[in-house]
Amino acid sequence: MQVEAISKSQMQVAIAQINCVVGDLAGNAARILSYAHEAKAAGANLMLTPELALSGYSPQDLLLREDFTHHCQRELQALAKALPADITVVVGHPHREHGRCYNAASVLQGGRIVLTYHKHALPNHSVFDEVRYFSPGNKAGVFEHQGVRCGILICADVWEPGPAKVSKQAGAELLLVLNASPFHLEKQQQRYKVLGKRVEETGLPLVYANLVGGQDELVFDGNSVVIDRCGAPVQQLPAFTEQLALVSIDLSPQNRANPLPADIAPGLTREESAYQALTLCLRDYVQKNGFPGAVLGLSGGIDSALTLAIAVDALGADKVHAVMMPSEFTADMSVDDARQMAQLLGVKYTELPIKPLFDQFCATLAEPFAGTSFDITEENLQARIRGMLLMALSNKFGSIVLTTGNKSEMAVGYSTLYGDMAGGFAVLKDISKTLVYRLARYRNSLSQVIPERIIIRPPSAELRHGQTDQDSLPPYDVLDAIMEAYVERDSSRQEIIAMGYREQDVARVLNLIDRNEYKRRQSPIGVRVTERGFGLDRRYPVVSRFVSKD
């Protein structure tokens, strides 16, 4: 960051939009320290980190371990002593006090911890379980910096009116908000609406620093923002990337504590946001877990093609292995298209025909299967042979297996346990089939890597002659609309029918979704990009006899 002349009539606040690793306390502290040095060199004397930046978000049941919170406190004290002089840093961290654990933010200044604030509003919905781990605070966290009284809030505190009002009553002139706000496709619009409302209620401008990076199924998009006292965004950091940004706070009497206009990063389209979220979350999952690369089955279909493109963009072609496993039911065009795509992306490509293995399995099972005809058993057997081969490659070379199924298939169980569901990370788990097509088109708009024929041909599992997905499922535009209404918005059967869908289609899709919870429980985790994915934010029983008839 280039150092510029700093006016004495301004206060420079640095936003550290950083990517933290859960449990890497020393590594996260070192990252904060590095950013503090950079911020000071750029002219800032106050820096704001994301929520729980020291521990990473969310540590989940690590927070129940006293040794974990003890190590966090020890690392916080060491960080306070290591920070450069003349810069104050607000750090998010877990804090244990009098037998209770708090989601906290501490002000580090002059080698000391001068103030610790406890988060008031503990979210306990969708992907959040903070009530399980934390006790709520009830006091303001206000400190003075360069004559400006700054009030600390933590993430959900700003989503309801109470905590901001408490800060104002304690004399705050500027709100500093630490966040670990996970991404979904509607999230940034929701944030703008909520932040504008808090500013309108209190008359206080705010600086909002958000975490960036992937953590298990969650991805944090950054998108840190500064809102002036009129409720307008005056500075916006880019999405899905680490960045240090300086915020200029006016100290003149006529505009005291109000942030000044600065760079506004351009917004992303829905497809850009989804694609970048998938890429970042996959990259972080692979790298933070120490996998040397990824291996996946490349079928010649659109789901595996999109997964391969994302994997290469996330990890680099040299760390991705694509494996085509043709059977007697695989069309020649599927093999040709897989070869072409692997060549376009420059990945390692292997063909492992499964017919000899399939024939051997069928011969072994000939006696118990005597008198039966070819059915879904033999179809699933092919998928399981492929899963076994991919897992063997993973075991031998250490690469993680990426599954390639999408949310539509996951919803209705159009997948094979221990077959195409076998793997370590499901990249498209929260991507509907209709969005898969849009993302493929988006990726090809950057450079042509997915052969056109893959996009336009009817989708097929190719587990029997002449098979297409629509032999077993409604058209995907219908399936996806019903799924989104039922899964993401909790619409009832009658409400979905009232949207204009045929009663038999609605009944069929809802029945398939309800029946296949047992499969989803055994699927690998995958990137969450909608308001409700099949993961932390949708917890249905496997054994249930409830059927919605209303």
Bridge pairing between strands 348-351 and 320-324: parallel
Is residue 300 annotated as involved in ligand binding? yes
Helix, strand, coil content of the chain in percent (nearest 5): 40, 20, 40
pLDDT of residue 2: 40
pLDDT of residue 7: 60
Catalytic residue among 75, 155, 281, 488: 155
Is residue 297 annotated as involved in ligand binding? yes
Catalytic residue among 40, 51, 288, 462: 51
Is residue 187 annotated as involved in ligand binding? yes
Catalytic residue among 119, 319, 429, 433: 119
State how far the Cα of 224 lies from the Cα of 234, in Å rounded to an integer: 11
Give the bridge partners for 105, in sequence order: 92, 117
Is residue 403 annotated as involved in ligand binding? no
Average pLDDT over residues 26-33: 98
State how far the Cα of 547 lies from the Cα of 539, in Å rounded to an integer: 16
Is residue 409 annotated as involved in ligand binding? yes
Average pLDDT, the chain: 95
Give the bridge partners for 402, in sequence order: 425
User: pTM of the predicted model, to two decimals?
Assistant: 0.95
The percentage of the chain sitting over the pLDDT mark of 90, rounded to a whole number, equals 93
- In this predicted model, what pLDDT tens digit does every residue of 57-106 receive, in sequence order? 999 999 999 999 999 999 999 999 999 999 999 999 999 999 999 999 99
Residue 5 has pLDDT above 50, yes or no: no
CA-only gyration radius of the chain, Å: 26
Is residue 519 annotated as involved in ligand binding? yes
Average pLDDT over residues 432-440: 98
Q: How far from 323 is each of 342, 348, 361, 457, 550, CA to CA, in Å?
A: 9, 8, 21, 21, 46
pLDDT of residue 547: 83
Residue 459 has pLDDT above 90, yes or no: no
Residue 29 has pLDDT above 50, yes or no: yes
72 is catalytic: no
pLDDT of residue 1: 44
Q: How far from 142 is each of 223, 511, 513, CA to CA, in Å?
A: 25, 53, 49
Top pLDDT among 145 and 472 is at 145
Q: Check: CB of residue 101 under 8 Å from CB of residue 135.
A: yes
End-to-end CA distance of the chain: 59
Average pLDDT over residues 328-346: 95
pLDDT of residue 3: 39
- In this predicted model, what pLDDT tens digit does every residue of 149-181 receive, in sequence order? 999 999 999 999 999 999 999 999 999 999 999
State how far the Cα of 414 lies from the Cα of 417, in Å rounded to an integer: 10
- In this predicted model, what pLDDT tens digit does every residue of 367-423 receive, in sequence order? 999 999 999 999 999 999 999 999 999 999 999 999 999 999 999 999 999 999 999
Q: Check: CB of residue 441 under 8 Å from CB of residue 454.
A: no
Top pLDDT among 3 and 177 is at 177
Strands (DSSP E) found in 49-135: 88-97, 100-109, 112-118
State how far the Cα of 505 lies from the Cα of 144, in Å rounded to an integer: 61
State how far the Cα of 459 lies from the Cα of 461, in Å rounded to an integer: 7
Is residue 165 annotated as involved in ligand binding? no
Contacts of 280 (CB under 8 A, 6+ apart): 212, 213, 214, 219, 240, 314
119 is catalytic: yes
State how far the Cα of 497 lies from the Cα of 296, in Å rounded to an integer: 38
549 is catalytic: no
Go through the domains of the chain in sequence order and give each one's CATH number: 12-267 (3.60.110.10), 272-469+515-521 (3.40.50.620)
Is residue 179 annotated as involved in ligand binding? no
CB atoms under 10 Å from CB of 413, counted, come to 17
